[in-house]
Amino acid sequence: MKLSDFDFTLPEELIAQRPAPVRDQSRLLVVDRAAKSLSHSIFSSLPDFLREGDLLVANDTRVIPARLWGKKESGGEVEALLLKRRSERVFEALLRASKKLKAGAEVHFSGGVSLRVVEALGEGRYVAEFLGDYPVEEALERVGEMPLPPYIRRVEALGEDREWYQTLFADPDKAASAAAPTAGLHFTPRVRDSLAEKGVSIETVTLHVGLGTFLPVRTDEVKAHKMHSELYEVTPRAAEAVNRALDEGRRVIAVGTTACRTLEHCGKSGRVEPSGGETDLFILPGHEFRVVKGLITNFHLPQSTLLMLVCAFGGRDLVLDAYKSAIDNRYRFYSYGDSMLLL
């Protein structure tokens, strides 16, 4: 497979800069794999396309204000994006500066917040430690910004993004993501209640979104791309709910590519094992899905690992046809854009 196999042209005006005014009024493109058919709806009608007994599995990670702007001791500017938490005060981070940073270099932010470079990992990634004894979470809330993707072209994140860029499922005790699991952004209490009335249940797993999810593919041969690992957790409760659904022949529908990867990582045997750790699973066409029977997802960047996963689930030709239909019908794309349901 070549990188060009997963390309498409998107008019720039279709890149959503803000979410829909009401989350569940975003549009929904429904893709039926068996019938190879497409239909257009809105997200609040999601229950109409599901069956009693279906199990939705969402990602309950919470996005932290992971982008910080600071200065080196020399005065040069540094942009920091926290990627993965290693311990209470130590993170893997992207640090962008005019020159590469060396171990021991300090970066100072507003409000007395500072970090020290511990180790250079390459590709602009570093291990960095917050200095001092202040609670890191409180410091990030004071001086950090929500880590909006670069295609959201604003000078800075808005205050509203702290609410907009969190899902209904975000658990305050699981705050560690550098990006939102965006398929979950469309859910509202109204949709959740409608799903319950339909007999559709919801369970959660955790995958803290980092470089593995959003790093571009830079190899022409797709299989040569190396996914960076991300932290995940599947609790015994979640594993039991998924396995019960599988045993009873009910569909397990992943809310987003991150939930999908987590389930497939832990379900290689056809049974989901409760566990926690790191996953670098790269799902490409040809992958045998052992757990996931449906997928709710946003519209992703061309040539991205996320689009490749969706093509693996729905079939490349059908998915690219769906993307063409979405473009022709002026759907909104990417993180704050519209949604797709593949069954």
The CATH number of the domain holding residue 83 is 2.40.10.240
How much is the pLDDT for 332?
Answer: 98
Pairing label, strands 67-72, 106-108: antiparallel
How much is the pLDDT for 139?
Answer: 95
225: in domain: yes
Same domain, 50 and 94: no
Write the DSSP assignment of 177-224 as a string of letters: ESS--GGGGG--HHHHHHHHHHT-EEEEEEE---HHHHPPP--SBGGG
Same domain, 32 and 49: yes
What the block records as the tokens of 76 is 């040069």
How much is the pLDDT for 158?
Answer: 76
Same domain, 134 and 173: no
Residues whose CB falls within 8 Å of the CB of residue 122, separated by 6 or more in sequence, listed in order: none
Residue 36's alpha-carbon distances to 31, 324, 326, 336, in angstroms, are: 7, 14, 15, 27
The CATH number of the domain holding residue 301 is: 3.40.1780.10
Residue 147's alpha-carbon distances to 87, 288, 307, in angstroms, are: 20, 33, 21
What the block records as the tokens of 176 is 């560690």
157: in domain: no
Same domain, 178 and 90: no
Residue 320's alpha-carbon distances to 1, 28, 293, in angstroms, are: 15, 16, 19
Same domain, 128 and 194: no
155: in domain: no
Q: Which domain holds residue 57?
A: 3-63+165-342
Write the DSSP assignment of 75-116 as a string of letters: S-EEEEEEEEE-SSSEEEEEEE-SS---TT-EEE-GGG-EEE
Taking 70 as the pLDDT cut, the residues of the chain under it are 155-157
160: in domain: no
The total number of structural domains that make up the chain: 2
